[in-house]
Amino acid sequence: MGEAIVITSGKGGVGKTTTTANLGAGLAKAGQKVALIDADIGLRNLDVVMGLENRIVYDLVDVVEGFAKLKHALIKDKRFENLYLLPAAQTRDKTAVSPEQMHELVSHMKEEFDYVLIDSPAGIEQGFKNAVAGADKAIVVATPEVSSVRDADRIIGLLEAQEKHKPFLIINRIRASMVKKGDMMDIDDMIEILAIELLGVVPDDEFIVVSTNRGEPAVLNPQSKAGEAYRNITRRLQGENVPMMKLDDDSGFLNRLRKLMGFKS
């Protein structure tokens, strides 16, 4: 029996889909059998982030409505044969499925997969309720910004009201140089405010843009700092005790000089 984890945030654009794609690819690379569900019906994106947009035939709504079988709707990843994606419908809206239907679908998928990762839409309405319905655990993604932390707090309140397992926090897009100057909240500030367990910290990394352009999750790139952070989170999800990555500040004069001269640290 596998485990279902929802990745959510409240606020849009903080990295839910990127996180889902990277954790999925990371877990699959570690040999786990993984299914990703894009629960953002009407605004699907996990397919493009994974580079699988050309292979979609059926989607989540087709499966829920009994129009297609689950095994026909699941898209096999290009890189890993133990990684699958169930895409969202693009021409329907959040009301096309109910929380009960999602719960049933996810329970069914947990029989076959070690991990079922559910990419939640932004917001706190039905799309969020659908995404959360079948999950055993929740990961809340937040960036060190006032608006993101506020929405994360709201989401944590809603998750706790559902008596799910207390959610875990991933702090995304942290910038060491700004933290050092006192212009960005640091890890301790965020934990103090949100009061939940930290699962990982992902540094702001330009490579994420490149990897999304290509449809290749950064976790598979050994040079990417964000990729390294996602690899660590993947190991923690599997029960390993991995220390938090040290965030280095590469804004200093020497570092910039080194970069300029091609000695990329």
Partner 1 sequence: MFDLFARVFGREDASKDVAKERLRLVLVHDRASLSPQALENLKNDLLKVISEYMDIDDEGFRVDFSRHDDAMALVANIPIRNVKRHSV
Residues that bind partner 1 (CB under 8 A): 145-146, 149-150, 153-154, 157, 179, 181-186, 189, 193
Least spacing, CB of residue 172 vs partner 1, in Å: 16
Least spacing, CB of residue 140 vs partner 1, in Å: 14
Residue 126, classed as helix, strand or coil, is helix
Least spacing, CB of residue 138 vs partner 1, in Å: 18
Q: Are 111 and 101 in contact (CB under 8 A)?
A: no
For 182, left (φ over 0), alpha (ψ -120 to 50), or beta?
Answer: left
Question: Between residues 15 and 144, which has the closer beta carbon with respect to partner 1?
Answer: 144
Main-chain dihedrals φ then ψ at residue 91, nearest 5 degrees: -105, 15
Question: Between residues 104 and 153, which has the closer beta carbon with respect to partner 1?
Answer: 153
Packing angle of the helix pair 207-214, 225-237 (nearest 10 deg): 80
Cα(22)–Cα(61) distance, rounded to whole angstroms?
24
Question: Between residues 56 and 179, which has the closer beta carbon with respect to partner 1?
Answer: 179
Least spacing, CB of residue 44 vs partner 1, in Å: 30
Which residues neighbour 182 within 8 Å (Cβ) at sequence distance 6 or greater?
Answer: none
Question: Between residues 117 and 184, which has the closer beta carbon with respect to partner 1?
Answer: 184
